Amino acid sequence: MAENSFKYVIVGGGVAAGYAAREFTKQGVKSGELAIISKEGVAPYERPALSKAYLFPEGTARLPGFHVCVGSGGERLLPEWYTEKGISLILNTEIVKADLASKTLISAAGETFKYQILIVATGSTVIRLTDFGVEGADAKNIFYLREIDDADKLVEAIKTKKNGKALIVGGGYIGLELSAALRMNNIDVCMVYPEPWCMPRLFTAGIASFYESYYANKGIDIIKGTVAVGFGKNENGEVVDVKLKDGRVIEADIVVVGVGGRPLTTLVKGQVEEEKGGIKTDAFFKTSSPDVYAVGDVATFPLKLFNEQRRVEHVDHARKSAEQAVKAIFASEQGTSIEEYDYLPYFYSRAFDLSWQFYGDNVGETVLFGDNSPTSETHKFGTYWIKDGKVVGVFLESGTPEENKAIAKLARVQPLVNNLDQLAAEGLAFASNI
């Protein structure tokens, strides 16, 4: 094939791309057939590390330590691995145009790439306060976290603003993980979010009250029910304070904003069907355009278990959707078929000495179990979600590997329950006995 022409091209070099590359080799891809084109300057890595061990003062994670596929217990794919397998890793290259009709991609530098089969794995981008014209939001030392370059800038600021003050905008998992990481670096941390409790998209009030008290005990201030409406700067253009909507002004020399993301679908906009903000795919991650697949954060796929189309922005799905798409590509080339994607939603987070896992769906009535007192020694507690008499979702803090396996099984089996008081009394034992 001519230079810059590949049988398979993956646009985006994140989690999904890395797991797809491993699956391509398992399926017998030949040298020279596959290219990964990435805006980032490094080989695919486990992105969740950026808001966790990458920022720790001790036991810090650095590349090549967390290249895929270590996050799921697999072998690390170092840059040399791609060379050995004849996979072209085209880094520092942003694709700015995709013409699906002519199967052509064009980079920001004007290079052209041709493909036969395309996998879109561009992930998400962060929502910025500058997008809403928030006053002073362009000040220095206001950070966002999506890619390794963002994390490096934050690490630098942690060093230069030693023992400084940080304000975290947003109470989602990024806000919670970053608050913990900055606090561990001996920085004074204040979190601000508009909702009545943290992580409202998943947490119930009962779950959140544990984390909010735990954070308060670690010395983190939490201001709820208001938002940042402006930032003050000094003569060097560095942020010095944050104005809140309720009139308060909070001093800060580091600000980290974690107010959500948006899937990067622009490249193929108008050329493929979209749904729920993502690229619509079937159960094999095939889009409405021939020979184009979409995986990871950008895909809106059929979630068989709940019988609806969903988009999932979590690492486990990025890994599994990528593997499914590659298996489907090879099956279709060989005229065989594979099973439909049958995903059980799984999210997790870690901060301080805490670690939670969630499986299933967070809809319906809830039952809190265990000890969610912030001063509890074990802080092992959880919540069941019950819909139409069945347990459809389970959350567990501080579970052992066996207990986490048990809650995953429970969310998959969706057992019937008829007495919620009894379920609360049984607690984790209910899951362990399934």
By beta-carbon proximity to ligand FAD, the closer residue of 121 and 392 is 121
**The residue to which tokens 């991609």 are assigned:** 105
Of 196-204, 222-230, 245-253, 342-350, the window that binds ligand FAD (rule: CB under 6 A) is 342-350
Binding mask 46-85 for ligand FAD (x = CB under 6 A): -xx-xx----------------------------------
Site for ligand FAD contains 122 (CB under 6 A): yes
Given candidates 6, 9, 13, 395, which one binds ligand FAD under the rule CB under 6 A?
13
By beta-carbon proximity to ligand FAD, the closer residue of 330 and 348 is 348
Number of residues that bind ligand FAD (CB under 6 A): 37
Site for ligand FAD contains 370 (CB under 6 A): no
By beta-carbon proximity to ligand FAD, the closer residue of 55 and 239 is 55
**Over the range 101-111, which residues count as b (16 or more CB within 10 Å of their CB) and which as e?**
eebebebeeee
By beta-carbon proximity to ligand FAD, the closer residue of 17 and 325 is 17
Site for ligand FAD contains 123 (CB under 6 A): yes
Query: Smallest gap, in angstroms, from Cβ of residue 47 to ligand FAD?
Result: 3
Strand 228-233 to 239-244 pairing: antiparallel
Site for ligand FAD contains 37 (CB under 6 A): yes
Query: Smallest gap, in angstroms, from Cβ of residue 241 to ligand FAD?
Result: 25
By beta-carbon proximity to ligand FAD, the closer residue of 14 and 170 is 14
By beta-carbon proximity to ligand FAD, the closer residue of 29 and 68 is 68
Site for ligand FAD contains 345 (CB under 6 A): no
Site for ligand FAD contains 11 (CB under 6 A): yes
By beta-carbon proximity to ligand FAD, the closer residue of 89 and 220 is 89
Query: Smallest gap, in angstroms, from Cβ of residue 236 to ligand FAD?
Result: 27
- The residue with its CB nearest to ligand FAD is 14
Of 120-128, 236-244, 303-311, 410-418, the window that binds ligand FAD (rule: CB under 6 A) is 120-128
Given candidates 172, 296, 345, 370, which one binds ligand FAD under the rule CB under 6 A?
296
Site for ligand FAD contains 428 (CB under 6 A): no
- Interface ranges with ligand FAD (CB under 6 A): 11-17, 37-40, 47-48, 50-51, 94-95, 121-124, 145-147, 174, 264, 267, 296-297, 313-316, 318, 347-349
